[in-house]
Amino acid sequence: MSSSERFFDEMLEDGGGHRAPYRQYGSWFDNEDIGRLRKKASEAEVFFRRTGITFNVYGEQDGDERLIPFDIIPRIISAREWARLERGIEQRVRAINAFLHDIYHRQEILRSGRVPVDLIAENEAFLPEMIGVAPPGDIYTHIVGIDLVRTGADEFLVLEDNARTPSGVSYMLENRETMLHMFPELFADTRVRPVSAYPRGLRRSLAASAPMKCEGEPVLAVLTPGIHNSAYFEHSFLADEMGVELVEGHDLRIENGRVAMRTTRGYKPIDVLYRRVDDEFLDPLTFNPDSMLGVPGIMDVYRSGGITIANAPGTGIADDKALYSYMPTIVEFYTGEKPILKNVPTWRCSEPDSLAYVLDHLSELVVKEVHGSGGYGMLVGPAASKRELSDFANKLRAFPSNYIAQPTLALSTVPILGKKGLAPRHVDLRPFVRVSPRGIEITPGGLSRVALKEGSLVVNSSQGGGTKDTWVLEE
């Protein structure tokens, strides 16, 4: 990407005035003292640290926790823009659930030749143990995060789907709580759609997905790998906000054909388990026999209808970045509609012609691991050195099926509070979706992740990115 590349500025029009969603906020900001705002930014950091809003970075020393940088300038989306995003997100989530049910049952999309059989059969995220298993209400993805990027006024693209265990909703909620505390006058004057109902809504949608053996009010719990997990703060936060127990594998056992958790009054059956443990570690009798994080025998209980696991085992196949390139086909196959939200053009390096193209244009592309996450294992070609490009080319030649490549997009920018006032930085958006037999609910807004380093396209917190509050305006 050349230095002269133009980016869509979400706040400013070409002439310098504020775009419609930002006009009221821009007028407020222009009358604010920059010193006061810097003080507010420092207060926000103290608040986040006191609350414990940190994350662990894998590969670093145990106990090394980082504070996720928070920028106090909100990202603002109009009601019209959000209405279109909602329609596109709902369509995509419906298709993902239908696809997951199909590949674990009739496999019609494979029989039709629309998706290659090898892409599923040879994929480590596909679980043969789930074939023929129908979760309650046929819901596989109870919680979904759809990562979106913007390249123009009316151009939103899906960057990736998070259907396994999407994280970040706690930061969305804490970002809003912080802004409400620091700038109550802004919310009094601006009609911003609330996000605070998410935990209550999550509890309702999980309860609505209770299994057939549930008797009476469903009992819910959150399963965490423990305090050393990078998202432990979120696990604890959500359990507390929903008013349910936070449990680890050693707190659970199988009793009378049910999964039961230890309480002060003995073991109590659980109806719905919101798990934040990966498939591999969920049941040592079915998957990894060395796992100490899961519950021996939980898959037998699940298959017999004794518990709902959210998200369902095997949903990770929908996160696969090689499968991502087939999502437009998947959406149309299951909904009968053209996708409302487009994909980013993608080259599958497992295909010889695509690999040849990627190797010839490596300095222009972004290359990602098929099963990668958190910004790890990726190459941003325009920002890479000759040595990095050469080393990555060798990886591609050795393990082509491990990678996909995409063009370096001209991502939109939003303002952050920089050293000299407002400064544009690249951003993405992760809206959060709750799915139950009652329907699909999308929280207005989501988590905006921002690349705090000038010119950087990598927004992940593990790679130095920050977050900001996302405002969806009322009509």
**In the chain, domain spans:** 345-408
Mean pLDDT of 91-115: 98
Alpha-carbon Rg for the chain in angstroms = 23
Q: Looking at domain 345-408, which CATH architecture does it have? A: 2-Layer Sandwich (3.30)
Residue 33 main-chain phi, psi, to 5 deg? -85, 125
Q: How far is CA 159 from CA 55, 227, 291, 319, 428, in A?
A: 23, 30, 32, 11, 9
Cα dihedral 313/318/322/325 (nearest 10): 170
pLDDT bin (cut points 50, 70, 90) of residue 55 is low
Distance, in Å, from the CA atom of 340 to the CA atom of 320, rounded to the nearest integer, reads 21
Show the tokens assigned to 446: 């989501």
Confidence check: pLDDT of 187 > 50: yes
Provide the pLDDT for residue 2.
41
Our measurement of the distance from residue 87's CA atom to the centroid of its chain's CA atoms, rounded to an integer in Å, reads 18
The H or E element that residue 43 is part of is: helix 34-51
Provide the pLDDT for residue 170.
94
Q: What angle do CA 64, 42, 458 make, to 5 degrees?
A: 55
Q: Is 469 helix (H, G, I), strand (E, B) or coil?
A: strand
Beta-sheet strands, E only, within 68-199: 70-77, 143-152, 155-162
Query: DSSP assignment of 438-453, as one string?
Result: TEEEE-SS-EEEE--S
Confidence check: pLDDT of 464 > 90: no
What digits encode the pLDDT tens for the residues 275-301? 999 999 999 999 999 999 999 999 999
Nearest to 126 by CA among 383, 256, 1, 312: 312
Show the tokens assigned to 151: 């390249």
* pTM of the predicted structure, to 2 decimals: 0.92
Provide the pLDDT for residue 58.
44
Look up tokens 């919680």; give the residue: 143
Provide the pLDDT for residue 51.
77
What digits encode the pLDDT tens for the residues 237-273? 999 999 999 999 999 999 999 999 999 989 999 999 9
Q: Are 120 and 110 in contact (CB under 8 A)?
A: yes
Least confident of 115-119, 138-142, 354-358, 369-373: 369-373
The mean pLDDT value of the chain amounts to 92
Residue 473 main-chain phi, psi, to 5 deg? -80, 145
Least confident of 4-13, 54-63, 387-396, 404-413: 54-63
Provide the pLDDT for residue 54.
60
pLDDT bin (cut points 50, 70, 90) of residue 64 is low
Edge-to-edge order in the sheet of strand 308-310: 245-247, 220-223, 272-275, 308-310
What are residue 472's DSSP bridge partners? 77
Mean pLDDT of 378-404: 92
Mean pLDDT of 393-417: 93
What sign does the dihedral 113-118-119-125 (CA atoms) show?
Answer: positive
What digits encode the pLDDT tens for the residues 116-156? 999 999 888 999 999 999 999 999 999 999 999 999 999 99
Residue bearing the bigger pLDDT, 461 or 426: 426
Q: Is 270 helix (H, G, I), strand (E, B) or coil?
A: coil
pLDDT bin (cut points 50, 70, 90) of residue 1 is very low
What DSSP designation does 311 have?
S
pLDDT bin (cut points 50, 70, 90) of residue 11 is very high
Show the tokens assigned to 335: 């909904």
pLDDT bin (cut points 50, 70, 90) of residue 423 is very high
Q: Are 228 and 165 in contact (CB under 8 A)?
A: no
Q: Are 130 and 418 in contact (CB under 8 A)?
A: no
